[in-house]
Amino acid sequence: MTSPSDEAASRAAAAANYVDIQHHSGDAEFAGRLRGWLADRLPDGSDPQVGPLDTTGANGMSSDTVLFDATWSSADGTLRPERHRHHLVLRTAPDADATPVFPRYDLEAQFATLAGVAENSAVPVPKVWWCETDPEVLGRPFFVMSRASGHVPPDVLPYTFGDNWVADGTEGDRAAMQRSMVEVLAGIHGIDDAASRFSRLRLPTGGPTALARHLADTTDWYTWSCRDSSRSLLVESALERLTDTLPDDPGPTVLCWGDARIGNVVFDGFDPVGVLDWENAVLGPREIDVMWLTYSHTVFQDLATGLGAKGLPRFLRLDDVAATYQDLTGHVLVNLDWHALFAATRWAIVFLRTGAREAAVTGRPLPDDGDTLLHNRPSLERLLAR
């Protein structure tokens, strides 16, 4: 049995290996330019004011996030219009020199996807306000959305290491959180005619099915990554296996969130109130999201147990999640072994990119063997051995 002192030691060991490699932006000049941009968006006389900027490095490794408050006057024609405070989030693509995780960041597509999900489902996504594609305004394209109030399960250190509200909750609390996440997926996947409503998410090449195109896009992502990341023989083996065993009939095409994990959700208690991070939204079979939800927990669980922590072994197990999903949607999930390997491979490429970013920030050389950068190496090797 793991003791509290052992749990604390495992958290300390993990923290010692963490390097803050988020790219942070935001200063007085930035705030002033943001205020001027808001004034152009709002009616005359709104007189927007922007509060202090707050960048967050707790979760996520792809886009930059700036939290800020803005106040402006209502345009009601009165002599003393009422001023309203808005809690907002600004999302930008990462700087091209900051070793980004992905080769492209289509902020317009993210903005449109959030708006489409809000319009066509009850999934709790933030209200989107504006999307700015001109990089001259703030140095990079960005969009603005409302900020959900609540708690986000931490990635750094992962919630499986304990000492956070997810780990401190009861098994019943986590069971409720798990079911609520499946309900979110069911709501996203239940949007009718997703291929038409979200047509800009259709990948252009790679095969006759949405899943084939997603795999081809992942292979291109890995090839792009190798320009400034180490090669990984495990990833290359996995991509070859995935290509050879690609399902002929992957199932119905739906809107997939693409990054379905609890670390991308704001919770009020254990209920989701803000579903975030849509840069990987894609059209494809629903198994993409269900497997990402469960495998992402596997990654963090393995990190915890590898350093001596107990983790949360009864949380987000695939059999439980799949049974709940079938109960809610009537859909029987298929090709799960293939999708498990696909999820593991995409996670591995993420780790190659974050490893490259850490090397760029610290000045340490990249290893010749990219497999040493894969924090999910044990589970990827297990899946390849099946």
Q: Please determine, for residue 386, whether its predicted confidence score (pLDDT) is greater than 90.
A: no
Q: Please determine, for residue 59, whether its predicted confidence score (pLDDT) is greater than 70.
A: no
Please check whether residue 100 is in contact with residue 94, taking contact to mean a CB–CB distance below 8 angstroms: yes
Task: Give pLDDT tens digits for 249-276.
Answer: 999 999 999 999 999 999 999 999 999 9
Q: Say yes or no: 170 and 315 in one domain.
A: yes
What pLDDT is recorded for position 19? 34
Q: How large is the average pLDDT for residues 18-39?
A: 68
Q: How large is the average pLDDT for residues 46-52?
A: 90
Q: Say yes or no: 43 and 181 in one domain.
A: no
Q: Say yes or no: 110 and 218 in one domain.
A: no
Task: Give pLDDT tens digits for 225-236.
Answer: 999 889 999 999
Strand 271-275 and strand 54-55: pairing?
unpaired
Residue 153 within a domain? no
Give the DSSP per-residue string, 309-336.
Answer: ----TTSS-HHHHHHHHHHHH-PPP--H
Please check whether residue 88 is in contact with residue 68, taking contact to mean a CB–CB distance below 8 angstroms: yes
Residue 6 within a domain? no
Q: How many structural domains comprise the chain?
A: 2
What pLDDT is recorded for position 287? 98
Domain end among 120, 146, 172 = 146
Q: Say yes or no: 201 and 337 in one domain.
A: yes
Residue 12 within a domain? no
Residue 78 within a domain? yes
Question: In which band, very low, low, confident or very high, does the pLDDT at 2 lie, cut at 50, 70 and 90?
Answer: low
Q: Which residues are catalytic?
A: 259
Q: Say yes or no: 139 and 189 in one domain.
A: no
Q: Say yes or no: 140 and 49 in one domain.
A: yes
Domain that holds residue 172: 159-385
Task: Give pLDDT tens digits for 232-249.
Answer: 999 999 999 999 999 999
Task: Give pLDDT tens digits for 290-313.
Answer: 999 999 999 999 999 999 999 999
Q: How large is the average pLDDT for residues 314-328?
A: 98
Q: Please determine, for residue 182, whether its predicted confidence score (pLDDT) is greater than 60.
A: yes
The pTM (predicted TM-score) of the whole model is: 0.90
Q: Round to whole Å and give the CA distance between 94 and 100.
A: 6
Residue 325 within a domain? yes
Q: Round to whole Å and give the CA distance between 216 and 172.
A: 40
18 vs 27, higher pLDDT = 27
Residue 348 within a domain? yes
Q: Say yes or no: 142 and 168 in one domain.
A: no
> Counting every residue, how long is the chain?
386
What pLDDT is recorded for position 18? 35
Could you tell me the CATH number of the domain that includes residue 40? 3.30.200.20
Q: Say yes or no: 129 and 267 in one domain.
A: no
Question: In which band, very low, low, confident or very high, does the pLDDT at 325 lie, cut at 50, 70 and 90?
Answer: very high
Q: Say yes or no: 271 and 135 in one domain.
A: no
What pLDDT is recorded for position 312? 98
What pLDDT is recorded for position 55? 74
Residue 151 within a domain? no
What pLDDT is recorded for position 9? 56
Q: Please determine, for residue 79, whether its predicted confidence score (pLDDT) is greater than 80.
A: no
Tokens of residue 281, six digits? 């939204």
What pLDDT is recorded for position 205? 86
Q: Say yes or no: 124 and 184 in one domain.
A: no
Could you tell me the CATH number of the domain that includes residue 234? 3.90.1200.10
Q: Please determine, for residue 11, whether its predicted confidence score (pLDDT) is greater than 80.
A: no
Task: Give pLDDT tens digits for 127-178.
Answer: 999 999 998 998 889 999 999 999 999 998 999 999 999 999 999 999 999 9
Q: Say yes or no: 232 and 345 in one domain.
A: yes
Q: How large is the average pLDDT for residues 110-116?
A: 97
Residue 3 within a domain? no
CA dihedral defined by 253, 258, 263, 267, rounded to 10 degrees? Answer: -40
Q: Say yes or no: 112 and 212 in one domain.
A: no
What pLDDT is recorded for position 198? 97
Question: In which band, very low, low, confident or very high, does the pLDDT at 16 lie, cut at 50, 70 and 90?
Answer: very low
What pLDDT is recorded for position 35? 94
List Cα–Cα distances, 259 to 48, 134, 255, 348, in angstroms. 34, 26, 12, 14
Mean confidence (pLDDT) of the chain = 90
Domain end among 146, 178, 212 = 146
Q: Please determine, for residue 10, whether its predicted confidence score (pLDDT) is greater than 60.
A: no
